[in-house]
Structure 1
Amino acid sequence: MASSPALPDFHLCLDSADLDALRTCLPHPLVHAVTTNPTLLRRAGLRQADVPRLVETLLGLRVRQVQVQVTHVQTEEMLREAEGLVALADPGRLVVKIPATREGLAAGAELARRGVPVTFTAVWEPEQALFAAMLGAAYAAPYLGRMQDAGLDGLARIAHMQAQLTGSAAPTRLLVASLRSRQACLDVIALGARAITIPPALFAELVDHEPTRAAERVFLADAQDDPAR
């Protein structure tokens, strides 16, 4: 008997801490995770003390994972903070985000060794993505829009990173962030990236297409005109 084809191995995440905006998208089976960071918390009017309730609420909206970033810069302090974050959810459901600094790489390596999923964030250079794979991270997160703002060829850099990860056969995914348009999402997907995180407003652009809605309206109208009804 022929085996069933594998489903696409892709993670679509929402990048926000604004519960009102997130609830316009959730719950939905397309969404794998919600990614947050201190800047997103501040924009949503939240403090670090609000993180436990935020995580609880998001898991209640049936996302598979929530990503929360540490707020310390020394390795041991990152590890202590990460222990508290991981305790907020069942194993594997809280992903610890750590900037890909020298100290952060050391902390992330120890967490990965313990079986804690880690995202190395603020990844700008190809070697940082390689190091993330070497250290067993679940994700490495480059910022496409910010690279382009800095005058860099962000797509070329991300293509380089993705080629490295593909060649290494590591399970580490590029989680491309700072995506500001539907076309940017399609561009990084075409490069082979296995995860993206987008603002909630972009979710509608990816899943709500007017030609499809128009066809649906025609089908419904024709169904109403069916003399057998």
Structure 2
Amino acid sequence: MKFFIDTALLSEIEEAASLGILDGVTTNPSLMAKVGIQGQEAIYQHYKKICDLVDNNVSAEVISTDFEGMMKEADALAGIDEKIVVKIPMIPDGVKAIKKLSGMGARTNCTLVFSAGQALVAAKAGATYVSPFLGRLDDISMDSMEMLGQIVNIYQNYNFQTEILGASVRHPMHVITAAEMGVDVVTASLKTLKALFQHPLTDVGLEKFLADYQKSQK
């Protein structure tokens, strides 16, 4: 499983990369706004800074909702760095753009996916990644894990090459359950990724080992 970090904060990306487990970054306009990045030129410059921190896979989202606008933005985003994956929403014109871009060899991430049917459409259009949103489904009392399992089964049935990218990941159990299902990628906050390292028995065990070592030095 690949680990992406869902942020636009450079310090968080640097910290995640320093852990040695980071495979990519996902961002969106909301995350950019949170760190005070405004205006197209500033956003594009920030994407470049992110690309300079990671080896590959930086999802950069289009703002347009019409086919022509998305294609124009996709061209500009892809021109920032070869690591860019163009993030496109699951809407009819978005699917058309994904199909066109995939035919041109561009990498795409179909975002805002909330059903297995949407994921099926994205795969047929040739998306590189499909991003089912887990936490947001849980927020409205729907079973995100059931949806995720459906997507995994459908993709296996037809040998789709589109990678499943679990998004809106809220806690470590989202990550673990997705890994058990064979999901290709998860994108999560730095806090969630770091929580995977933690267990109280590890802390207790380390404390005991260190205490015993100190005793042996007396």
Q: How does 1:8-19 map to 2 (within 5 A)?
A: 10-19=1-10
Which residue of 126, 134, 148 maps to 1:136?
Answer: 126
Partner of 2:90: 100
Cα deviation 1:59-94 (Å, max 9, x = unaligned):
22233221000000110110001100000112xx11
Partner of 1:202: 192
Percent identity reads 25
- Tell me the TM-score normalised to structure 2 length: 0.89
Partner of 1:55: 47
How many residues in Structure 1 have an aligned counterpart in Structure 2?
A: 216
Residue 154 (1) aligns with residue 141 (2): no
Cα deviation 1:129-159 (Å, max 9, x = unaligned):
1111111111110111111112211111111
Quick one: distance in 1 between partners of 2:20 and 2:73? Answer: 30
Cα deviation 1:161-209 (Å, max 9, x = unaligned):
1111111111111111111111121122222211110011112111344
Displacement of 1:12 in angstroms is: 0.8
Aligned CA-pair RMSD: 2.2
* SS of structure 2 residue aligned to 1:164: helix
Displacement of 1:125 in angstroms is: 1.6
Cα deviation 1:19-78 (Å, max 9, x = unaligned):
233233224431111000111111121123323332222222233221000000110110
Quick one: distance in 2 between partners of 1:210 and 1:71? Answer: 43
Compare 186-195 and 74-83 and name the one that shifted more. Answer: 186-195
Amino acid at match of 2:37: L
Partner of 1:122: 112
Displacement of 1:102 in angstroms is: 0.2
**Contact 1:27-1:63 at 8 Å conserved across structures:** no
Quick one: distance in 1 between partners of 2:52 and 2:204? Answer: 33
Quick one: distance in 1 between partners of 2:106 and 2:211? Answer: 48
Q: 1:224/1:75 Cα in 2 relative to 1: closer, same or farther (>3 Å)?
A: farther
- Tell me the TM-score normalised to structure 1 length: 0.85
Residue 85 (1) aligns with residue 77 (2): yes
Quick one: distance in 1 between partners of 2:15 and 2:201? Answer: 21
Q: 1:219/1:159 Cα in 2 relative to 1: closer, same or farther (>3 Å)?
A: same
Q: Which protein has the bigger helix share?
A: 2
Quick one: distance in 1 between partners of 2:81 and 2:174? Answer: 32
Amino acid at match of 1:70: V
* SS of structure 2 residue aligned to 1:29: coil
Q: 1:84/1:223 Cα in 2 relative to 1: closer, same or farther (>3 Å)?
A: farther
Residue 74 (1) aligns with residue 74 (2): no
Q: 1:174/1:215 Cα in 2 relative to 1: closer, same or farther (>3 Å)?
A: same
Amino acid at match of 2:52: G
Cα deviation 1:197-225 (Å, max 9, x = unaligned):
00111121113445446656637974996
Partner of 1:3: none
Partner of 1:46: 37
Any unmatched runs of 5+ in structure 2? none
Q: 1:116/1:28 Cα in 2 relative to 1: closer, same or farther (>3 Å)?
A: farther
**Contact 2:51-2:84 at 8 Å conserved across structures:** no
Quick one: distance in 2 between partners of 1:106 and 1:157? Answer: 24
Partner of 1:6: none
* SS of structure 2 residue aligned to 1:31: coil
